[in-house]
A and B are shown apart, each in its own frame.
Chain A
Amino acid sequence: MEKRESLWDKCLRKGISRRSFLKGCAALTAMMGLSADKMSKVVEAAEVKPLPVVVWIHGHECTGCDESFIRSASPLASDLVLSQIDLEYDHLLSAASGEPFEAHLQEVMQQYKGKYILCVEGATCTKDNGVYCMSGGHTFSHMLKEASANAAAVIAYGTCATSGGIQAAAPNPTGSSGINQFVGSTPVVNVPGCPPIPEVMTGVVMHVALFGTIPPVDGQGRPKQFFGNRLHDTCYRRPFFDAGMFAESYDDAGAKAGWCLYKLGCRGPETYCSCGNLRWHEGMSYPVQSGAACIGCTNANFWDTGSLSKRLPGYGPIDVDTIGAGLAAVTAVGVVAHGAASVVQKKKRDAAEAAEKKD
């Protein structure tokens, strides 16, 4: 096994100055959501840690996460793939194919056993023995189990990998689900989103690469630094919500003036992501800023929790409040009817008891 380079080795070889290297580390620290005092750790890791070997596999999905990934601006996806990680196997980005390519995967898994990072995009499907998603003659879940067993850590990219995504939407014809149940005891970090923000994707893989462990995660296995904030609480339109200023439809004056999209079904109040602070495309915009209500794409089962343009899950024109009001109305009517019957009952009872006393 040849000696693998660290980031600093690579800089030395390419004639990049120490100053530029440190600047890069500072940017990396900020991008990973770490505080400034962690920078010395980042520099240390970048000096000595060999570049991590990454195996990137794709399951039941649209590869939209990759489309997002290649648009990462800091670090540039090209920099990341070409100089900061050692991407050994990728279904989508590899030029090679066929038997030699599959053999290479086996080689990598043996050579870097317990050391490589496994990135997974897409859901697994198990219905009909998983025939709906196969590569190299094996089902995706077989490949996933094999690759994750020898991995140091697994990164689940996109809502498909974390909870099944659109494949798992009702009626879920292929029996799709997230990958978490297939990876055994290997630590997993979930990076949901449809797709996730590019900088979040690169940030998480860099964290695992530099520190060798998954970043601190919340109860759903999502990295806290990127999924710790509710969109509603970080949204720049929040003041309009607090003041009660809402767009009523997408073509009214409120929408034009950039008021809160809450009444148009914005899922911001239930969604955890970095859209509000990192935003997309070098901080240019994010859905709400572009005038579209959030659809909550980082949430598990977001396709199935009612209409994407309504505040609450509903059933056609009926929502839960309509059901509740209906129940209350039925109860009120029932109560009035029962009350009237009770008055009659009391009269009959009093008459019967009076007659009994007379006898």
Chain B
Amino acid sequence: MKEEKRKVYYLFSPFLRIFHWIMVLSIVVLFVTGLLITKPVTVVALEPTATSLSMDWVRNIHFIFAFLFCASFILRIYGFIVNKGDRLFPRVWEGHFYSETLDVALHYGLLKYRHAPFLRNPLARMSYAGLYIMVLIEILTGFAMYYMTELSNIGGMLFGWVNVVLGNEMVTHWVHHIVAWLIIVFAIGHVYMVLRADLMEAEGEASSMFSGVKFLEHVPRDANEVEPAKDAD
């Protein structure tokens, strides 16, 4: 067995990790219940009134998880404040960001064997920024539909403009749907990229969302953004 010297980098605070898994659960539940709300399944039963699918329940579960998801952003924001490693936005204001993006893209395009070492590579950072934008769109369109039961209450005033901007509440539904699917597309790509990173570099990509740490052989380009590394035991 080949011996490798690796360093341990502490990245993700427990707040971010808990947020991440709440997000995973919420997205799964919201996606499934959301599809059921749009196209309720027909339950064939002898007694039609004894249906096992109660739209009321499905809707309530959807709303409960929507609120849970929104509330969990408190953890994300707190982690962002207290822990450097939680700050994942793409550093587009730094010139080397673009050359590094190209470098990673060439590797993902199977044109280079390796890309420069990163704790969080620029393409991944951009995809996370994209995810947060998509989640924001879901929150805005979701509440725009949810609060319309009473237009003049606080929720109606905060989110009613979304329907006006989109021109028609039907369009709000449409946007809510297509972005939900885009989030699923992101999730497929995200899970794959994490597993692939573990296959190619074995830096503890998947386990970092449980332990908070990654193991790197070389000094990563973005090492200065987090706490100094420790030697692996």
Contacts and interface: CB of A to CB of B under 8 A. Distances in A.
Q: Is B one of A's binding partners? A: yes
Contacts of B49: 243, 245
Interface in B193-216: 195-196, 199-200
A299 B170 contact: yes
Contact of A320 (B40, B42, B114, B177): B177
Nearest to B160: A219
Contact of A345 (B43, B113, B172, B181): B113
A190 to B, nearest CB: 12
Interface stretch (B22-30, B84-92, B144-152, B222-230): B144-152
Interface residues of A, number: 54
B56 A320 contact: no
Contacts of B182: 324, 327
A251 B150 CA distance: 34
A242 interface: yes
B46 interface: no
Interface string A288-299: 000000001001
Interface stretch (A51-59, A115-123, A142-150, A262-270): A262-270
Nearest to B185: A331
Given A270-B173, A299-B170, A349 B54 contact: no
B181 A324 contact: yes
Interface residues of B, number: 48
B54 A352 contact: no
B99 interface: no
Given A245-B48, A262-B40, A312 B174 contact: yes
Given A244-B53, A244-B55, A335-B192, A321 B170 contact: no
B178 interface: yes
Contacts of A253: 48
Contacts of A172: none
Interface stretch (B6-14, B118-126, B127-135, B161-169): B161-169
Contacts of A323: 178, 181
Nearest to B43: A244
Nearest to A327: B185
Nearest to B54: A244
Interface in A317-359: 320-321, 323-325, 327-328, 331-332, 335, 338-339, 341-343, 345-346, 348-349, 352-353
Contacts of B1: none
A219 B192 CA distance: 44
Interface in A242-279: 242-246, 248, 253-254, 262-263, 267, 269-272
A185 B188 CA distance: 52
Interface stretch (A4-12, A67-75, A301-309): A301-309
Contacts of A320: 174, 177-178, 181
A230 interface: yes
B54 A313 contact: no
Given A299-B168, A324-B184, A346 B55 contact: no
A244 B170 CA distance: 21
A335 B178 CA distance: 20
A281 interface: no
Given A219-B164, A335-B188, A339-B196, A242 B40 contact: no
